[in-house]
C-alpha cells in the first residue's frame, strides 16, 4: 500500500511540475475554468429571469347583458351604430387582486391591413379591483391605453371583409401597472407578466351588412 501511495504522489508531483512549467497547459486550464464559470452563471441568470406562470386560477367571469358569449354583437356597439361600449359584468374577482385590466381586440384583421392580423379596440388598466360592472356607453375608472386606431376610449367593431371575433379580456392582477396613459396593449401585456392571478374572456361576433 505504501508503495502504491508513494508511486501516486510521485506521479502527481511530476504532473504538477509539468503543468507549472508549461505555459500552454496553464492557459488551456484557465480558459476551461472561465468557460465553465461563464456557462454556470449564464444558466443561473436565465433561471432567475424565467417568468412566473401567468394564470394561477380561472374562476373569474366576464359577461354582458347585450350579447351571449360567442354570439353576434348588436350593431349599436359598432361603427354601424352608436359605437358605444356594451355593458360588462365582472364576477368572482379574487379578493387578493390589487387591480384589473381590460383589453378588447380583434385577431381576424386581413394581413393586407395589419401584418400581425390584430386590431386593438380598447385598453384600460389599473381599474379598481372593486369594479364589478361597466355601464353601457361609459368608460371605466382606470388608466386608458391607446388602441390601434389611436383612440384612448372604446372603439367599436368595424370589420372590412367578413365576420370577425372580438375578445373582451379581463385580468385580475396582484399589483398596479406602472405605465402612463397612452400605453400600448403590448406594453400592458408585458407589464402584466408574472402578475396575473386570474383572467376571463368574452367573445362577441360581428359582420357588417
The model's pLDDT over 123-140, given as tens digits with 9 standing for 90+, comes to: 999 999 999 999 999 999
User: What pLDDT does 54 receive?
Assistant: 44
Instruction: Answer yes or no: is pLDDT of 175 > 70.
Output: yes
| Residue 85: band (very low, low, confident or very high) from pLDDT cuts 50, 70, 90 | very high
Tens-place pLDDT, residues 92-127 = 999 999 999 999 999 999 998 988 899 999 999 999
Contacts (Cβ under 8 Å, ≥6 apart) of 12: none
Q: Which domains, from first to last, does the chain contain?
A: 2-49 (no CATH), 61-206 (3.90.280.10)
**pTM (global) more than 0.75:** no
- Residue 33: predicted pLDDT: 72
**Helix, strand, coil shares of the chain as percentages rounded to 5?**
30, 25, 45
Taking only the tens place, the pLDDT of each residue in 23-43 is 656 566 667 677 766 666 665
Looking at per-residue confidence, does 166 or 12 come out higher? 166
Distance CA 98, CA 199 (A): 14
Mean pLDDT (the chain, rounded): 85
Query: What pLDDT is recorded for position 25?
Result: 61
- At 11 the pLDDT is 56
Name the 3-class secondary structure at 156: coil
For residues 158-182, average pLDDT? 96
Amino acid at each position: 500500500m505504501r508503495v502504491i501511495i508513494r508511486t501516486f504522489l510521485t506521479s502527481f508531483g511530476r504532473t504538477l511540475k509539468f503543468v507549472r512549467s508549461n505555459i500552454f497547459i496553464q492557459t488551456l486550464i484557465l480558459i476551461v475554468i472561465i468557460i465553465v464559470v461563464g456557462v454556470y452563471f449564464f444558466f443561473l441568470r436565465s433561471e432567475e429571469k424565467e417568468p412566473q406562470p401567468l394564470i394561477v386560477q380561472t374562476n373569474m367571469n366576464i359577461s354582458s347583458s347585450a350579447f351571449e358569449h360567442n354570439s353576434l354583437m348588436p350593431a349599436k356597439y359598432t361603427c354601424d351604430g352608436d359605437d358605444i361600449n356594451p355593458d360588462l359584468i365582472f364576477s368572482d374577482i379574487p379578493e387578493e387582486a390589487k387591480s384589473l385590466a381590460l383589453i378588447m381586440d380583434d385577431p381576424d384583421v386581413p394581413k393586407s391591413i395589419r401584418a400581425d392580423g390584430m386590431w386593438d379596440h380598447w385598453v384600460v388598466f389599473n381599474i379598481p379591483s372593486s369594479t364589478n360592472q361597466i355601464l353601457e356607453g361609459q368608460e371605466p375608472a382606470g388608466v386608458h391605453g391607446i388602441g390601434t386606431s389611436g383612440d384612448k376610449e372604446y372603439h367599436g367593431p368595424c370589420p372590412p371583409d367578413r365576420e370577425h371575433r372580438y375578445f373582451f379580456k379581463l385580468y385580475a392582477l396582484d399589483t398596479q401597472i406602472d405605465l402612463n396613459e397612452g400605453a400600448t396593449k403590448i406594453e400592458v401585456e408585458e407589464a402584466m407578466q408574472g402578475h396575473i392571478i386570474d383572467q376571463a374572456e368574452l367573445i362577441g361576433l360581428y359582420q357588417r351588412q
